[in-house]
Structure 1
Amino acid sequence: MKVAGFGCRPDTPAEALRDALTRTGAQDLAAIATIPARAVELTALAQALDLPLRLTEVRGVTTPTRSERVQALHETGSVAEAAALSACGSDARIIVTRVTSSCGRATAAIAESEETP
C-alpha cells in the first residue's frame, strides 16, 4: 500500500497541498496522512480524493530528510515523511522523499509497505 504524508503551515490552501502531491508523481494511494494539528487543512483534500485521512503521531520517527525547524517543533526531520511512514505500517519505507509545493507552504512524501489498507 502507498500513503502520502503531508506537512504544511496553518491555513495552507488546498491548491498548495494538491501541488505538493502532484510533484510526488504518486498514483494508487491507499490513504493520506498528517499530524492531528493539520487535520483541518487535509480533510478537504482527503474527501476530494476519496481517500481516508490518517492522523498520526510523528515524534521520534526517523526520516530520510531533515529540517532543523521541523526537528525542533515536531521531534522528527520531516512531518510529511514521518506521517507517511507512521500511517503506512511497520515495514514502510519512503519511496518519494518530501517535495515542496511551488508556494513553499506544503510538503508531501510517499511511503510504501506490504500491508493492505
Structure 2
Amino acid sequence: MERHPMIAGIGLREAASPASILDALARAGGADLRRLAVPAVKARHPAIAALKGLGYAVTSVPAEALAPQPTLTDSPHARAAMGTGSVAEACALAALGPGARLLGPRAISADRLATAAIATGDPA
C-alpha cells in the first residue's frame, strides 16, 4: 500500500535560523518530516541551505503559486508580503498540487521567526 505524500511548507523571516525552522516543524507535528517547501524568494536563505546540508529535500515554490491556495490562516503580514494568508500553508499545498490538504493550521516557532504547515495529498 502506497503512503500519501507529505510535505512541510515553511515561512521564515530573514533572521530565522535552522533551529527556528525545526522548532516550527516540530510544533506542526512534523519533527520527522524531511521534505520542505519554501517560497522561491527564500530558497537561498542560509537556514534553508543549512537544512539542505543536513539531508532535507527542499522544493522551491514560485510566488504566483501561493496566492491561489486556500489557507486556514489569514495573517495580515503574510498577505501583505506574499499575497497569501499563510506562506507555510500555501507552500505546502502548492508543492503537492491538486488534491493536497492541510493537516492543520501553521505553527509558529518559539522565536516567532519561522512557521510550518504540513500537507498531504494523493499518491501520484
TM-score normalised according to structure 1 size:
0.88
Aligned residues: 115
Partner Cα separation in structure 1 for residue 53 and residue 95 of structure 2: 17
| CA contact 2:108–2:115 (8 Å) conserved in 1 | yes
Unmatched runs of 5 consecutive residues or more in structure 2 = none
Unmatched runs of 5 consecutive residues or more in structure 1 = none
Cα deviations by residue, 1:27-56 (Å, 9 ceiling, x for unpaired): 6636210101211232322331x2321010
Partner Cα separation in structure 1 for residue 34 and residue 10 of structure 2: 14
Alignment of 1:67-106 (within 5 A): 67-106=75-114
Aligned counterpart, 2:72: 64
Question: In the alignment, does 2:60 pair up with 1:52?
Answer: no
Aligned counterpart, 1:111: 119
Aligned-CA RMSD value: 1.6
Partner Cα separation in structure 2 for residue 83 and residue 77 of structure 1: 11
2:33 maps to amino acid: L
Q: Could you list the structure 1 runs, at least 4 aligned residues long, displaced by more than 3 angstroms after superposition.
A: 27-30
Aligned counterpart, 1:32: 36
- 3-state SS of paired residue (1:69): helix
TM-score normalised according to structure 2 size:
0.84
Identity %: 35
Partner Cα separation in structure 1 for residue 70 and residue 23 of structure 2: 25
Partner Cα separation in structure 2 for residue 35 and residue 55 of structure 1: 6
The structure with the largest alpha-carbon Rg is 2
1:2 maps to amino acid: M
